[in-house]
Structure 1
Amino acid sequence: MEVTTLARRATWTGGAVQERLRRLNLITTVPPLAFVGVLLVVLTARTWWHVVLQVVGLAAALATAERWTAGDFIRVARPCVAITAVVWLAGAMTDDSSSFYGLCVVGSFTIPPLPRHRIAALLGLGVLVAALGSTNLLVHSGHGVGRLLQFVVIPAVSVVVSTAFTFVSQRFYDLVAELEQSRDREAELAVIRERMRFASDLHDIQGHTLHVVKLKVALAEKLLRSDVDRAQEELKEVHTLVGDTIVQTKELAYAQRRLNLSAELENAKNLFEAAGIHVRVDREAEVDARAGELLGQVLRETTTNILRHAQAKQVRITLAESGITIVNDGAPEDGQPELNGLATLRQRLADNGGELKVDRQDGRFLTAAAFPRREDVR
């Protein structure tokens, strides 16, 4: 349930963030462009033909900008470039110097997202704007330098400058998108970690129970002929243990499971004694409550490992304020001392500021889990 909630939350958050980014781009991009376009129409249009040209160019520019904010402008960019180029050509020939505005906006949105050859595309766009504007010099005579600046130099430079600003805006948008993708990946990793934690806890419950049941059933079989009453007691304990495991599995599924270190200690002691292993428990201090649950998991996993892998005769458990140490004999000499369950617990302890050590020497296996004391942290 918790894993599913995390996954849904990650998906919903990612979609909501993308929608907020799109709205933010719409607010910061489209209204200013529309305001400038309308202002140019009001201030520079001298005939109805100029009004039509500038409105058509502005509409193409706003359509490109709106699709750019949605990340889906490629299919409208090319026709809009063609439309605004025709508008600028017609404006240059009819002496309307503001008609280049639409082509300037469309080009500035089209070039930055290109995968390569952006500089070449920008130079090409500048040359196109200058070439289309130069038709004004062919149609209209007089004021040669002024017309050159008004219809060739200023539009070409404006295209380059506006594209540079759009490129910076695009890079900022890309960085924000990458940040959101990183957050999405972190959410996915959190889901994976939660699944691993759930699998580890389920392994602790089911694996531990199955090995204990196997031990007690074997013991009951031995006692059937010599001590029937004791065999019945062992079978009753198996029944109780299976029932407790069912309850713990339900608690785990609903994220309600909590380990009690004292109960785990008593359980480990009973299991070792039932297996004929001498166990000694030293309580040097009461364990810090914040670490008790994780230490209980370490004790449970270690108990299972000893019963499964060791031919132990003696086990010593030492509890300190911030940790637990379990030492057993009968450890096999071959193989690696690192066990999968303990490896998972090592990472879990590290995530909570603790440390887990395992060591094997001269047939003795040591498992030690510790958390720093609060005064040490200060």
Structure 2
Amino acid sequence: MSTVTKQAEPPQEGFQHPKRWLGMLFAGVWLWFLASPATAIWDHPRLPVRVLSMTSLVAFAALYVYAFITGRGYRRELRTMRPRRAWTLLGSLVLLALLVVPGAGPQAMGTVVYLAAAAMFLLPMRPAVAVGVAMATLPLVVPLWLPAWRSQQVVSFAVVMAALAIFGITRMVDRNAELLAAHSEIRRLAVAEERARAARDLHDILGHSLTVITVKAELAGRLLEIDPARAAGEVGDLERLAREALADVRRTVGAYREVSLAEELASARSALSAAGIAVELPGTIPDLPPERNELFGWAVREGVTNVVRHSGARHCAIRVEPELVEVRDDGRGPVTPDGTAEPAGVGGHGLRGLRERADKLGGQLGIGRTGPRGGFVLRISTPAGES
């Protein structure tokens, strides 16, 4: 997963935030190594130099802690500090370190350890390594011009160790931040998938149920005068269908909606008969795995809904085989709002949802006309032996 690098303001973490205090504590522990230059400054005979260097050392320590926390915050949020800001912070640390020299003398060389560590947190990898190498070399070359300072191999070694330690910390912070970002993305995708599932199920359930209710209501209206007894039966069916639709919605919201092929075939017979469409159903249903049984049930539901709603057909045949389900009619198929035939392969929310269900089982959805004079077929095929 790629991460967009932003150059923005620092992360908004107040000093009351526990993670900010943890960062301050971690950075502050290492300030103990500034005790040597502090002691040297305290022992300096001239008061003005002592005040200047001690003030600079305290400011250096405070700015280092600030730089450490700020750099850590950027990395935790997978962001990059503006180069100008990073170099300004590092340059300010260098200036304060130079102001420590008059009072601390050779002991001021300990500040280069902190400069290397700050560079690792503030700068990109290549310039950070360059600064680290320069800081490690400085204790070795300065005595060439200032013999009184003596070669400080220990300081140079400390610079290398500090740079490696901070490098490890930065990598750990980066990996943790990437892991948290990945978890956040997974949660977001899970929510989006659940919303899509709920929308798909509600469309499939209500689209079919309301279509059947509409057809039966129209039929009951036509039968009121010519066959009141049958009209009363259709009204009873309307009440039953409305209750079933409400129960289906509740089950869908509860995320345990199940569809059975046998139930959908029975419902198809009732819906097609009410619409005056002759129906041909399979005599037997093959023994199907549960996932395929549900998929085929959704296919029958969607296919019959479209036949009743759009086709204007007189006959509909449903075929079920172990790896295939097919709903075929002799109507005109889907039509566009202007009344013309819709191109084959075009579908609404229901067909898109059905295609998603088929894809999850490795199946394929096929829709299209059966001939130039009309007829439409919806077919789902699944791989042999797949559930």
Determine if the TM-score, normalized by the shorter chain, exceeds 0.5: yes
- Deviation, structure 1 residue 45: 5.8
Counterpart for residue 32 of structure 2: 38
Counterpart for residue 92 of structure 2: 82
Counterpart for residue 350 of structure 1: 359
Which of 68, 71, 75 is the equivalent residue of 2:71? 68
**1:98 and 2:110 equivalent?**
yes
- Deviation, structure 1 residue 302: 0.8
Counterpart for residue 367 of structure 1: 378
- Deviation, structure 1 residue 58: 4.6
Whether contact under 8 Å (1:212, 1:271) holds in the other structure is yes
Counterpart for residue 321 of structure 2: 320
- Deviation, structure 1 residue 215: 1.1
Counterpart for residue 238 of structure 1: 238
Structure 2 letter corresponding to 1:357: G
Supply the distance in 1 between the matched residues of 2:25 and 2:172 (Cα, whole angstroms): 17
Structure 1 pair 350–92 and aligned structure 2 pair: CA distance change class (3 A): farther
Structure with more of its chain in helix, by fraction: 1
Q: Deviations over 1:154-210 (max 9, x none)?
A: 76x987996687567646644553453344233222222221221121112222222
Supply the distance in 2 between the matched residues of 1:290 and 1:344 (Cα, whole angstroms): 15
- Deviation, structure 1 residue 269: 0.9
Whether contact under 8 Å (2:364, 2:381) holds in the other structure is yes
Structure 2 letter corresponding to 1:38: W
- Deviation, structure 1 residue 307: 0.7
Q: Give the match's secondary structure for 1:225.
A: helix
- Deviation, structure 1 residue 346: 0.6
- Deviation, structure 1 residue 69: 2.5
Counterpart for residue 112 of structure 1: 124
Supply the distance in 1 between the matched residues of 2:32 and 2:128 (Cα, whole angstroms): 31
Structure 2 letter corresponding to 1:367: L
Q: Deviations over 1:24-49 (max 9, x none)?
A: x968x975x66665357479966745
Counterpart for residue 343 of structure 2: 336
Counterpart for residue 296 of structure 1: 297
Q: Deviations over 1:223-255 (max 9, x none)?
A: 222211111111221122112212222222222
Q: Deviations over 1:245-286 (max 9, x none)?
A: 122222222223222221111010111122222212222512
Counterpart for residue 193 of structure 1: 193
Structure 1 letter corresponding to 2:120: S
- Deviation, structure 1 residue 317: 1.6
Structure 2 letter corresponding to 1:110: L
Structure 1 letter corresponding to 2:206: Q
Aligned counterparts, 1:210-225, within 5 A: 210-225=210-225
Q: Give the match's secondary structure for 1:224.
A: helix
- Deviation, structure 1 residue 83: 5.3
Whether contact under 8 Å (1:57, 1:101) holds in the other structure is no
- Deviation, structure 1 residue 305: 0.3
Q: Deviations over 1:115-146 (max 9, x none)?
A: xxx7499669959x969x96x888xx645xx7
Whether contact under 8 Å (1:126, 1:159) holds in the other structure is no
Question: Normalising by structure 1, what TM-score?
Answer: 0.71
Structure 2 letter corresponding to 1:68: G
Supply the distance in 2 between the matched residues of 1:206 and 1:120 (Cα, whole angstroms): 61
Supply the distance in 2 between the matched residues of 1:219 and 1:241 (Cα, whole angstroms): 15
Q: Deviations over 1:270-321 (max 9, x none)?
A: 1112222221222251222232222222211111100111122222222233
With 100-109 and 47-56 compared, the bigger mean Cα shift is at 47-56
Whether contact under 8 Å (1:326, 1:367) holds in the other structure is yes
Structure 1 pair 45–312 and aligned structure 2 pair: CA distance change class (3 A): same
Supply the distance in 2 between the matched residues of 1:358 and 1:142 (Cα, whole angstroms): 89
Supply the distance in 1 between the matched residues of 2:97 and 2:375 (Cα, whole angstroms): 88
Structure 1 pair 176–329 and aligned structure 2 pair: CA distance change class (3 A): farther
With 67-76 and 324-333 compared, the bigger mean Cα shift is at 67-76
With 364-373 and 170-179 compared, the bigger mean Cα shift is at 170-179
- Deviation, structure 1 residue 361: 2.1
Structure 1 pair 142–122 and aligned structure 2 pair: CA distance change class (3 A): closer
Q: CA RMSD, aligned part only?
A: 4.4
Question: Normalising by structure 2, what TM-score?
Answer: 0.70
Whether contact under 8 Å (2:112, 2:159) holds in the other structure is no
Task: In structure 2, list runs of 5 or more residues that go unmatched.
Answer: 1-17, 45-52, 76-80, 335-340
Whether contact under 8 Å (2:132, 2:160) holds in the other structure is no
Supply the distance in 2 between the matched residues of 1:301 and 1:195 (Cα, whole angstroms): 20
Supply the distance in 1 between the matched residues of 2:216 and 2:303 (Cα, whole angstroms): 18
Aligned counterparts, 1:196-211, within 5 A: 196-211=196-211
Counterpart for residue 13 of structure 2: none
Structure 2 letter corresponding to 1:365: F
Q: % of aligned pairs identical?
A: 26
Supply the distance in 2 between the matched residues of 1:287 and 1:123 (Cα, whole angstroms): 68
